[in-house]
C-alpha cells in the first residue's frame, strides 16, 4: 500500500464531508433568508439575526460553520461577519446566478438514502410517488430563476427561425411540463401561438393552471397525461422537454410519442444533460459526481421502480442520438445552453417513426 496516497485520500474524504456539511448550512441559509440578510452588509450575529427575524443562538452557530468554511468572513476587531459580494452573487437574490437553491435538492434526496439502499439489495427502485410533492416544488424553485432570465434568449432564440414561427402563430407542446412555468412564459411571450402542457402529476398541473390564470393567459392549457399516451398525431409544430426524458420508465416510448405528435417540418427541443454516455469521457467533468449521485438517488431509481429502463441522468449524447434517430427525428443539432449541466438537442421531423 502506498501510505502517502492513502493519507492524501483520507484528507480528501475529510474535505468531502466538510463540503456535505456546508451543503446543509447553505440550504438552511436559503430557507431562512440568511443569505439575503447577510448580503445587506457587515453585521454581528445579533444584528444578522434581527435582520432575518431569527433566533440569535442558531444564527451564531450557523455563522461558525459558514465562516470557518470560507463562505463568510469575520472581523475580530468589530465582531462583525461579512458575506463578500463575490460570494453573495452565488448565494443571495432572485436571479439565475443564485446557487443556494441547489442545496435543497441534495438535503431532500438525503431523506431517501435508506430506501435507495434497500433497492441496491433487493432490486426495483423508489417510486416517483415517494418523492412527491416536495420534488416537484424543488425543481420548480431550482429552475424558475434560470428560465425567467434565459428561456427566450438562451433557448428559443438560439434556434434559427423558431421565434419567427412562434410570433406568427404555431401549436406547441411541453411534455413533462411540471408546474408549467416555462410554458406559461412562452404563452405570454408569443400570444399568437397556442400551448399545451402534459404531466403525470395532478398537483403540478393544478399549479400550472393557477399560474396561467394569474397571468391571464388564454392561449395555454394543461392536462394530466402520461407522455407515452400522447395521441395528437402530427398535431404540434413545436415540442419541448426540459430534463424530462432521462427519468422516464420507458424513455424510447416517450420519444416515439413526441415524434408522432410533431407535424412534418416540426421542431423538437430536448433540453437535457450535457454529458457522454461513456464514463471514461466524463471523468474530467467536475459536475459528473453530482450528476451520477442525483441519478442514483432519483432519476434512475424512479424508472426502475416501474420496471423501466433506468436510463439515468447521465444517459449522454451518444445514446440520446441513437434513441432520437429511432423516432424519425432527423437533422439533430446539439447546442450549448446557458446552464453548464444542460445542452439543447434541436431535432426536426423527417421520415415516419420506425415501428
Provide the residue ranges of all domains of the chain, joining segments of one domain with +: 3-93, 109-349
H or E element: which one contains 272?
strand 262-273
pLDDT at 25 over 70: yes
Q: Rounded mean pLDDT of the chain?
A: 94
What mean pLDDT do residues 103-109 have?
96
Tally of CB atoms within 10 A around 44: 17
Percent of the chain with pLDDT over 70: 98
Q: What is the pLDDT of residue 67?
A: 98
pLDDT of residue 352: 44
pLDDT for position 28:
98
pLDDT digits (tens, 9 = 90+) for 63-72: 999 999 999 9
- Residues 319-340 have a mean pLDDT of 89
pLDDT tens digits along 234-250: 899 999 999 999 989 99
**What is the DSSP code string of 114-158?**
HHHHHHHHH-S---GGGGTTHHHHHHHHHHHHHHHHHIIIIIITT
CA distance 272 to 353: 21
Which tens digit of pLDDT belongs to each residue from 247-285? 899 999 999 999 999 999 899 999 999 999 999 999 999
User: Residue 58 corresponds to which cell in the numbers above?
Assistant: 442558531
Q: Which run of H or E residues covers position 223?
A: strand 220-224
d(CA 177, CA 302): 17
Please tell me the predicted confidence (pLDDT) of residue 354.
Answer: 36
At 230 the pLDDT is 87
Q: pTM (2 decimals)?
A: 0.91
pLDDT at 350: 66
Is the pLDDT confidence value at 353 over 60?
A: no
Residue range 38-44: mean pLDDT, rounded: 98
User: Of all residues in the chain, what percent carry a pLDDT higher than 90?
Assistant: 85
Confidence (pLDDT) at 137: 87
Taking CA atoms, 97 is separated from 69, 176, 200, 242, in Å, by 21, 25, 30, 19
In the CATH scheme, what is the homologous superfamily, with its name and number, of domain 109-349? Vaccinia Virus protein VP39 (3.40.50.150)
Spatial separation of the C-alpha atoms in residues 27 and 318, rounded to whole Å: 35
Distance CA 241, CA 324 (A): 13
Please give the class, per CATH, of domain 3-93: mainly alpha
Q: Tell me the pLDDT band of 338, cut-offs 50, 70 and 90.
A: confident
Amino acid at each position: 500500500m502506498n501510505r502517502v496516497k492513502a493519507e492524501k485520500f483520507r484528507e480528501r474524504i475529510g474535505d468531502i464531508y466538510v463540503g456535505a456539511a456546508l451543503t446543509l448550512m447553505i440550504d438552511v441559509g436559503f430557507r431562512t433568508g440568511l443569505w439575503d440578510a447577510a448580503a445587506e452588509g457587515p453585521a454581528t450575529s445579533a444584528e444578522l439575526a434581527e435582520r432575518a427575524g431569527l433566533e440569535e443562538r442558531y444564527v451564531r452557530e450557523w455563522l461558525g460553520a459558514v465562516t470557518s468554511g470560507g463562505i463568510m468572513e469575520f472581523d475580530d476587531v468589530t465582531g462583525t461577519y461579512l458575506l463578500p459580494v463575490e460570494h453573495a452573487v452565488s448565494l443571495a437574490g432572485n436571479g439565475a446566478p443564485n446557487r443556494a437553491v441547489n442545496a435543497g435538492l441534495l438535503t431532500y434526496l438525503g431523506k431517501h438514502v435508506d430506501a435507495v439502499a434497500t433497492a441496491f439489495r433487493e432490486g426495483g427502485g423508489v417510486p416517483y410517488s415517494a418523492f412527491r410533492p416536495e420534488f416537484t416544488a424543488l425543481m420548480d424553485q431550482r429552475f424558475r430563476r434560470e428560465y425567467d432570465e434565459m428561456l427566450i434568449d438562451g433557448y428559443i432564440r438560439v434556434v434559427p427561425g423558431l421565434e419567427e414561427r412562434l410570433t406568427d402563430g404555431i401549436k406547441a407542446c411541453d411534455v413533462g411540463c411540471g408546474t408549467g412555468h416555462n410554458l406559461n412564459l412562452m404563452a405570454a411571450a408569443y400570444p399568437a401561438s397556442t400551448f399545451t402542457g402534459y404531466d403525470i402529476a395532478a398537483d403540478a398541473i393544478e399549479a400550472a393552471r393557477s399560474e396561467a390564470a394569474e397571468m391571464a393567459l388564454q392561449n395555454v392549457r394543461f392536462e394530466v397525461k402520461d407522455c407515452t399516451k400522447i395521441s395528437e398525431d402530427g398535431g404540434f409544430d413545436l415540442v419541448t422537454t426540459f430534463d424530462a426524458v432521462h427519468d422516464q420508465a420507458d424513455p424510447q416510448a416517450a420519444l416515439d410519442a413526441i415524434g408522432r405528435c410533431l407535424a412534418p417540418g416540426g421542431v423538437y427541443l430536448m433540453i437535457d444533460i450535457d454529458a457522454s454516455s461513456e464514463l471514461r469521457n466524463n471523468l474530467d467533468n467536475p459536475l459528473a459526481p453530482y450528476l451520477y449521485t442525483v441519478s442514483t438517488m432519483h432519476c434512475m431509481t424512479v424508472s426502475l421502480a416501474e420496471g423501466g429502463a433506468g436510463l439515468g441522468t447521465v444517459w449522454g449524447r451518444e445514446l440520446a442520438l441513437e434513441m432520437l434517430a429511432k423516432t424519425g427525428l432527423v437533422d439533430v443539432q446539439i447546442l450549448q445552453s446557458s446552464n453548464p449541466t444542460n445542452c439543447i438537442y434541436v431535432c426536426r421531423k423527417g421520415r415516419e417513426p420506425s415501428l
